[in-house]
Amino acid sequence: ETMNINELLELIMKRLRPIAKKADVELVLESFRPVSAEVDEVKLSLALSNLIENAIKYNNPEGWVHVSLNADYQNFYVKVEDNGIGIPPDSQAHIFERFYRVDKSHSREIGGTGLGLAITRNAVIMHRGAIKVHSIEGEGTTFIVRIPLNYIEG
Ligand code: ATP
Ligand code: MG
């Protein structure tokens, strides 16, 4: 189904805003160019929600999460950037595995099952896209999702 990705992101941000507020994390939607694409709305929403939720959850008070949407002729790109706790280098290869959680860096109690990123990656692969992570411990994390504009199911 052809979806307005801007509207989809706005909806996700609206849903997560109270969670960000509670965590004292600033949630910002930036460089927002118009994109419409063939996507599975439910699966993509869940995939992007998981990323933004993590960026809020693995953050510090007065931290921020910046979400941006860009596109070229073939793909659109959603970038979720945070200045939170970061992911240790040896964990970065495992975070997309089911039930994997980085626990040594969790000085405070952060709940979760370790399924979010596995679900996100499955949804991205299902759209024939790709996901990349860049992270520095103690500085922050950036996830970039690339999805083809003309994904056709089947
Ligand atoms: P769930 O999402 O199922 O509630 P979860 O958040 O622990 O649980 P994932 O979303 O799959 O599971 O993330 C896996 C692990 O990767 C997390 O436990 C956390 O250690 C690490 N992680 C994910 N996103 C970030 C981030 N933005 N900053 C720092 N660490 C992160
Ligand atoms: Mg998660």
pLDDT digits (tens, 9 = 90+) for 68-112: 999 999 999 999 999 999 999 999 999 999 999 997 556 446 888
Nearest CA to ligand 1 atom 17: 101
Nearest CA to ligand 1 atom 4: 112
Evaluate: CB of 114 within 6 angstroms of ligand 1: yes
Write the DSSP string, 55-113.
Answer: HHHTS-TT-EEEEEEEE-SSEEEEEEEE-SS---GGGTTTTTSTT----TT--S-----
Backbone phi, psi, residue 143, to 5°: -110, 135
Look up the pTM and report it.
0.95
- Nearest alpha carbon to residue 105 among 87, 83, 84: 87
Q: Which residues contact 30 (CB under 8 A, 6 or more apart)?
A: 66, 67, 68
Q: Which atom of ligand 1 is nearest to the CA of 119?
A: 11
Substitution candidate for ligand 1 out of 51, 56, 58, 131 with most atoms within 8 A of CB? 58
Q: Which atom of ligand 1 is nearest to the CA of 84?
A: 28
Judged by its nearest atom, the ligand closest to the C-alpha of residue 53 is: 2
In eight-state DSSP terms, residue 114 is S
Task: Tell me the pLDDT tens digit for each residue of 21-72.
Answer: 999 999 999 877 899 999 999 999 999 999 999 999 999 999 999 999 999 9
Evaluate: CB of 82 within 6 angstroms of ligand 1: yes
Q: Is the ipTM of this complex over 0.90?
A: yes
Judged by its nearest atom, the ligand closest to the C-alpha of residue 56 is: 1
Judged by its nearest atom, the ligand closest to the C-alpha of residue 143 is: 1
Evaluate: CB of 113 within 6 angstroms of ligand 1: yes
